[in-house]
Structure 1
């Protein structure tokens, strides 16, 4: 018999649960494997409340192990491409006691005695499983974010079933968006497809081969699909919905996507590692505006910053202060935002990326949207660099559509912008590049160290 409500729901599924390469895993098989892995973990002395490093990206074995850890009420720390030097940090800051690498025959390695963390007591009092997510750490060391994993799972259980859909697991296994996609798909009886690689041709080929209906991804990756022409080499007619998040969508790019894929609906999603993924509703597919339409999340905008409060809010940071949470329990997202007259949210970018040029504020996303309207600009990234006179200067890296030398491009961009923006927003330096720098989560890198 299934060990708890999670495997009971999974066992009810009638369709294919997971697709990985040529393997197609049925729900009944998945439920049985979760039970077998739960027992294997017990035999290896993994107990409720034990923090366990799960070194894996999406894979059938990785998913089975994650859900087995939940059944066991252990604390999963999923990490894609674990670096060896991170293990001692995870032992000291997260109390990690075991390491599992599912691709290596599911070997369970004991890390020896590790210190405990006081926040784990909250999970034990609730008899709940845990989840630790590491922030990207783009401006410092990653924060270890502790969640009640049972609560995240229960939220998706309450969401109820919907028509069967096939969803591509594009976002990573250690990303709140990727895990949200997995849980939502499995608990609603859908099919989750694991990609073999995450470059435009590989993703488009997988959509064609598996007749994928839903693609959760980022604006930066969608632009890569356009620039590569991969969509012209594969049949994407099964794709009905593209959800985009992790970073704001430039309106000019959304226009390009809508013109290229007129039959696909595009929806802005929003969430953070600390508060989970909110259900959103857009004003229309051609707009980047959205509302948070969720009983479990509420929002407010204070001094131009979007703040969230969620019933799924994280328990706390294992290795950092709670400075990002207000005294009345609101999480400061760090996202610059504004509210339209009809109640929709417009994201303007990250507050830490705002450029202060001689006292004038420049929002990189807004300038990028304008630059994408230039006929010779395929993509660009705007960022601030230190300047002895103005404090910061506006710089931009530009990926041109065709051959163009630097002086021609600089002159063309200056002429294009001078009629569209105030002078302080015109970049003092334009750099031609053959690719735009992005993170391993397919977000543009606007912060230069």
Structure 2
């Protein structure tokens, strides 16, 4: 296993993987061994030299085919280019905004050669390969995050450690490759472990378990939205005992959905916590056989984590406060486009924007985003607590609680909910459910019932889209 191996570059790491074991496979039958991977990467690097794409240049990668995306991603990253992953289905206005905010010099899309977007001499180069991505923008304007190669490689190694990935593992990662999870947890962790990756690039519910069974997958890289869709369908894995775990990341996983999914799939679900600014994973629950806990996102892996007050003073175990992190995978304000992050740093500690507590054994329990906390006449309402209760209702499939302005109280909680497919919701029924399990000040004053909640490509609810809706009367 390569977890503890130290390499000066991704090119050096790839050169060590020259055996015939399977690296990448797609449902359409295409396959690449580790030996053939190196040749594919080197051929693409020769093309980059011909096109005069130099190390340090920022190259936007916009490819629909997941295999081509992965091969070009590795070719660029291992030649010290800066990769800017782009949603291949993004509308032109979003594409232009991404290219502008990331300072991209080249655009590599479905054409025969990349398009020059700007004078390379007018854009600063960086001292090693890496990524520049935009944050999800689910709660605010997306920000560019630059992550050097060593941060990505370090975090991929911690994914391998946390999940005990081995060369014989076969990971199924149907998540988008233009986000940090698919690239680090999916692609780079497979290389670090010397294992196999199944990466269709898109989630297809209809054949999900068919593909999982066909490749004998041993673990699944998922998000709560994907888990919820699968739980609502009749298909089930034929051989669940082969699947060691299903990993959940990118958004909170409700206790109700986790219990339902584990019962239906007969597969342990391992909840994790991460963010783009930390190169993906921050915490993860140890594997089930080591004692999986409920309600926690696990312990830190290869990263320091603490809970602090508003002055960044550490709090004792069990106290609720702000989550701060520090370590090799965490955003560096002095690298790439990261100057904006300096405002969230204190002595190298980055404030994530999340509120939580850590127990005496180091397990992190998230309560919500600090900006989402609702101040209702002096009473603090944490939306996640209210959402968990609403999601415990058998007829509620999705729930998000936001603060709405109130002339007297300042804010009041409003719930946006969607039913389980085939079920019916009413405001009267939801109010009765809230009265049954929530203190009066925590109960939503209104319920907006929708067919489904708007979500981004990572499965996160787009809260800004909900805030732009007309406030309930």
| TM tier relative to shorter chain | 0.7 to 0.9
Deviation at 1:39, TM superposition (A): 0.8
| Whole-angstrom CA distance in 2 between matches of 1:327 and 1:341 | 24
Structure 2 CA distance for partners of 1:371 and 1:300, relative to 1, 3 Å:
same
Aligned to 2:104: 96
Alignment deviations for residues 311-353 of structure 1 (CA, whole Å, 9 cap, x no partner): 1222336175224532301111111111224432101122222
1:28 to 18, 23, 35: 35
Structure 2 CA distance for partners of 1:48 and 1:222, relative to 1, 3 Å:
same
Which structure 2 segments of 5+ residues have no match?
A: 1-8, 310-320, 469-473
Q: What aligned pairs does 1:216-295 form with structure 2 within 5 A after superposition?
A: 216-231=221-236, 238-262=242-266, 264-276=267-279, 277-278=281-282, 280-282=284-286, 284-285=291-292, 287-294=294-301
| Whole-angstrom CA distance in 1 between matches of 2:123 and 2:19 | 37
Moved more, 375-384 or 38-47: 375-384
What CA RMSD, in Å, does the superposition of the two structures yield over aligned residues? 2.8
1:56 to 57, 60, 63: 63
Q: Describe the SS at the equivalent of 2:462.
A: coil
Aligned: 1:107 with 2:113: yes
Deviation at 1:403, TM superposition (A): 6.6
Alignment deviations for residues 208-254 of structure 1 (CA, whole Å, 9 cap, x no partner): 3322221111122211211233438x765543211111122222222
Number of residue pairs matched?
Answer: 435
Q: Describe the SS at the equivalent of 2:114.
A: strand
Aligned: 1:426 with 2:427: no
Alignment deviations for residues 59-103 of structure 1 (CA, whole Å, 9 cap, x no partner): 1111111111122211111111344345655565443221101xx
2:236–2:265 Cα contact (<8 Å) kept: no
Deviation at 1:44, TM superposition (A): 0.4
1:340 to 319, 340, 359: 359
1:292–1:298 Cα contact (<8 Å) kept: no
Q: Describe the SS at the equivalent of 1:361.
A: strand
1:19–1:25 Cα contact (<8 Å) kept: no
Which structure 1 segments of 5+ residues have no match?
A: none
Aligned to 1:68: 75
Deviation at 1:20, TM superposition (A): 4.8
Give the alignment's TM-score, normalised by structure 2. Answer: 0.83
2:340 to 311, 314, 321: 321
Aligned: 1:297 with 2:303: yes
Q: Describe the SS at the equivalent of 1:137.
A: coil
1:309–1:331 Cα contact (<8 Å) kept: yes
Aligned: 1:395 with 2:422: no
Deviation at 1:395, TM superposition (A): 1.7
Give the alignment's TM-score, normalised by structure 1. Answer: 0.87
Deviation at 1:422, TM superposition (A): 1.2
Structure 2 CA distance for partners of 1:394 and 1:335, relative to 1, 3 Å:
same
